[in-house]
Amino acid sequence: MIAAILAAMISQTTSHQGVQAHAEDAPGPFTDLRSDTVTLPTAAMYERMRHAALGDDGLDGDPTARELEALAARTFGKEAGLYVPTATMGNLLAVLTQVPRQGQVAMEATAHMFLTERGGATLGAVAYLGIPGTAGEMDLSGLKQALLRSNALRTELVCMETTHVNAGGAVLSLAHMRAVRDLAHGAGARVHIDGARIFNAAVALQVAPDAVAGFADTVSICLSKGLSAPAGAVLVGPAETLSRARQLRKMLGGTQRQIGILAATGLEAIETMPKRLAQDHAMANQLGAALRAVLPDQIGLTGPATNIIFVELPDDVPESAAWARELQKHGVLIRPWGQRRIRLVTHRHINSASIAAAAAGFEKAASELLG
């Protein structure tokens, strides 16, 4: 997989749906609102790759990967970091290192870890428990119940996700995070944050990243979403937990060799990209206003709290897949999020011109689909 990424980077192109999209600031003919994962590396990232100090990360360590791990740990106020290929692996290692077999992991019921990653629980013989919530925040009485020692399964880890992708990029309040941390620690459980978009949360809250991370023992941070690195994530936390995570990463096949070539893009991502995320949030606001102006009232919009908007389709209009097909004809790429919801995500390649193009595309699609 890494080889495929590197090949794509060397030719400086990547493709989606059969269309070539050129790297850097000319991402191709489509207005691509499917995800912030479509972001391409910046020129500075390519430059840092070229000059990265390299070593064997499976032997005595790759110096650039180590530098990235130390930077991530510092940024989030933790003792140690571990570079992993994906945020999914970061979350899984947080579970495998902190939950004994037959232990339970509690999280909000629509969390990405619950809906998309819970197959990983089978690897550790642990159970994931979904707790009902509102806007990504767990119902605290449900959490208290899950933490009761009398439960057949003992809850060893509580996970939070901020920003919360299935709650439309919602930002958990710091008060909620504090309450969850206090309940979990009070019951002897650890806390993990799925921080795939934790920088977006910190920017929206106008606090430093460690102020958000301070409510957890471990945090996974994704480098390849709004931060624009081509791949990679970092798990941060206590040194002893991270040393165990390093061993388990090896077992999972996640130890890579001269991986500093990619870690270099992660350094650039953490050092320079968070400060521009406010632009993505502003673009999402602009997109919401533009869509409101062209879509009929019966179609609802949720958000944006950060860089994600949901378009809510009532039962009497064609479903999301039909909108995806129609919008693509007009140069707009979107992601069906279930049959009655469309997900739109702003990112570095979306500017005011793309918003105008997206709104024009939606207007045409609406007139074709709604008559």
Ligand X SMILES: Cc1ncc(COP(=O)(O)O)c(C=O)c1O
Q: Give the footprint of ligand X on this chain (CB under 6 A).
A: 86-88, 112, 161, 165, 194, 196, 222, 233
Nearest distance, CB of residue 68 and ligand X, angstroms: 16
In the complex, what is the shortest distance from the CB of residue 197 to ligand X, in angstroms, rounded to a whole number?
A: 6
CB of 121 to ligand X, least distance (A): 15
In this structure, the strands spanning 218-222 and 31-32 are unpaired
Q: Terminal CA-to-CA distance of the chain, rounded, Å?
A: 44
Amino acid at residue number 109: A
Nearer to ligand X, 69 or 326 (CB): 69
Q: Which is nearer to ligand X, 116 or 298 (CB)?
A: 116
Whether the ω angle into residue 336 lies within 30 degrees of 0, i.e. cis, is no
> Is-contact 204 226, C-beta < 8 A?
no
Q: Which residue's CB is nearer to ligand X, number 123 or number 239?
A: 123
Question: Looking at beta carbons only, is 280 or 326 nearer to ligand X?
Answer: 280
Q: Which is nearer to ligand X, 163 or 354 (CB)?
A: 163
Q: Residue 317 class from Cβ within 10 Å (0-12 exposed, 13-18 middle, 19+ buried)?
A: middle
Angle (CA) 284-75-110 rounded to 5° is 50
In terms of CB distance, is 87 or 219 closer to ligand X?
87
| Minimum CB distance to ligand X, residue 366 (Å) | 28
Smallest distance, Å, CB 287 to ligand X?
A: 19
Integer Cα distance of 108 and 133 in angstroms: 6
Please say which residue, 108 or 161, places its beta carbon nearer to ligand X.
161
Q: Least separation, in Å, of the C-beta of 361 and ligand X? A: 24
CB of 82 to ligand X, least distance (A): 15
CB of 55 to ligand X, least distance (A): 24
Whose Cβ is closer to ligand X: residue 86's or residue 302's?
86
